[in-house]
């Protein structure tokens, strides 16, 4: 996937400053995702696909930030997804599907699953890191 495709999703967000602790930044991103997720669930429940685009774009941007931060990278570097170690299986195909069809309920579900998988991978990384430091 061409990383230039993700730039529009980052424009709506406050890109996390590198001076902030990564764990704190990720906590903020997850809290913001929970708000966006609740809004999107309501919109999709009411079958209001026309107004889901803004929320989906924000959710995609949050996920991309989370993806890079959990890999100890800054989003503005826009490295290839191939260089990222901590990422869900078939990331590029799944994210490409979401980006190309953001108004579909299936895209919302896929985005939710990507975020959940990334949270698990990030938690695993922290546990391994903690064990190695002991």
Domain positions in the chain: 3-133
* Percentage of the chain exceeding pLDDT 70: 83
Query: Is the pLDDT assigned to residue 78 strictly greater than 90?
Result: no
| Residues contacting residue 6 through CB under 8 Å, at least 6 positions apart | 60, 64, 78, 99
Q: If you write DSSP's letter for every residue of 98-109 in order, what string do you get?
A: HHH-TTSHHHHH
Helix (H) / strand (E) containing 6? none
Other CB atoms within 10 Å distance of the CB of residue 115: 21
Q: What DSSP character marks residue 85?
A: S
Average pLDDT on 68-79 reads: 80
Whether the CB-CB separation of 107 and 93 falls below 8 Å is answered with no
> Average of pLDDT values for 116-127?
96
Which whole number is the average pLDDT over 28-34? 95
């Amino acid at each position: 996937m061409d990383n230039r495709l993700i730039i529009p999703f980052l424009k709506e967000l406050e890109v996390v400053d590198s001076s902030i602790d990564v764990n704190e930044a990720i906590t903020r991103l997850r809290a913001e995702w929970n708000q966006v997720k609740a809004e999107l669930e309501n919109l999709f429940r009411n079958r209001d696909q026309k107004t889901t685009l803004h929320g989906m774009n924000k959710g995609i941007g949050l996920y991309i930030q989370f993806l890079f931060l959990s890999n100890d990278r800054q989003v503005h570097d826009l490295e290839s997804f191939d260089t990222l170690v901590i990422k869900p299986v078939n990331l590029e195909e799944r994210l490409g599907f979401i980006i190309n069809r953001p108004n579909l309920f299936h895209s919302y579900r896929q985005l939710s699953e990507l975020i959940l998988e990334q949270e698990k991978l990030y938690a695993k990384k922290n546990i391994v890191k903690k064990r190695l430091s002991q």
